[in-house]
Amino acid sequence: MKRYLTHPWLTIRVQLALGAIFVIAAIPKIADPPSFAHMIYNYRLVPASLINLSALVMPWVELLAGLALILGIWKRAARNLIGILLAIFIIAISINLFRDNAIDCGCFNVADRGKTHEQRIFDMKVDVVRDLGMLLMVGQLWWAGKREEQEL
């Protein structure tokens, strides 16, 4: 089982998929930083002075980390950064689920979609599950990397 889960055939596909997801997620945020800043504000977790800076920098880190995974450059660093970002996203959305603060996650789309409170809460739950799935992909890459190191 372990051999299949850490097989290079699977690892390269997970790496490419995760990289592509992060590149795709970064583009709308880079294209419209004010809207992404608004999304970050809606989380009510980031101090006012850091909202705009986060909205500017985070998408570029996502893009560079995603590209690094796709191109196979600095894979471990990119994987670790993506893992940290995913952990932050999961914690942030979960806190707001707990507080019943319905938000658009701003993960792939930064436009206000005019959803109801209930629709947003449902979407947030889906987002957490999706991000946990991506965190599992990071785990697979970490595990495969570990095995690679042992074999060397």
Partner 1 sequence: MKQNTIFQSAAIVAAGIILALVANAFASRDRKVSLVGTYPNALKVPAREVQVAPIATPVTQTVATTTQPATITVPPTATTSTQPTATAAIETVGLNPMVKTPAAPAPTTTTAPTPHAPLPTPTREFTAHPDKPYIEIAYNDVKALHDKNVLFLDARRTSVYEQGHIPGARTYSVWESDIDDKVNKLFAERNDQAAQNLPIVIYCSGGDCEDSHMLAQKLWGIQFNNVYVYKDGFPDWQQHGAPVHTGANP
- The binding site for partner 1 (CB under 8 A) comprises 30-35, 37-38, 41, 44-49, 51-53, 55-61, 63-65, 68, 74, 76-78, 80-81, 99-102, 112, 114, 117, 149
Reading phi first (left if > 0) and then psi (alpha if -120 to 50, else beta), residue 106 is in: left
Shortest CB 73 distance to partner 1, Å: 9
Q: Which is nearer to partner 1, 31 or 129 (CB)?
A: 31
- Residue 59 class from Cβ within 10 Å (0-12 exposed, 13-18 middle, 19+ buried)? buried
Q: Which is nearer to partner 1, 20 or 67 (CB)?
A: 67
Shortest CB 34 distance to partner 1, Å: 4
Q: For the chain, what is the radius of gyration of the CA atoms?
A: 16
Shortest CB 69 distance to partner 1, Å: 11
Residue type, 132: L
Q: Are 59 and 108 contacting, i.e. CB atoms less than 8 angstroms apart?
A: no
Q: Which is nearer to partner 1, 50 or 129 (CB)?
A: 50
Shortest CB 1 distance to partner 1, Å: 27
Nearest-angstrom CA–CA distance, 48 and 137: 33
Nearest-angstrom CA–CA distance, 35 and 102: 17
Q: Which is nearer to partner 1, 31 or 132 (CB)?
A: 31
Give me the phi and psi of 15, to 5 degrees please: -60, -45
Nearest-angstrom CA–CA distance, 47 and 115: 25
Shortest CB 40 distance to partner 1, Å: 9
Q: Which is nearer to partner 1, 10 or 46 (CB)?
A: 46
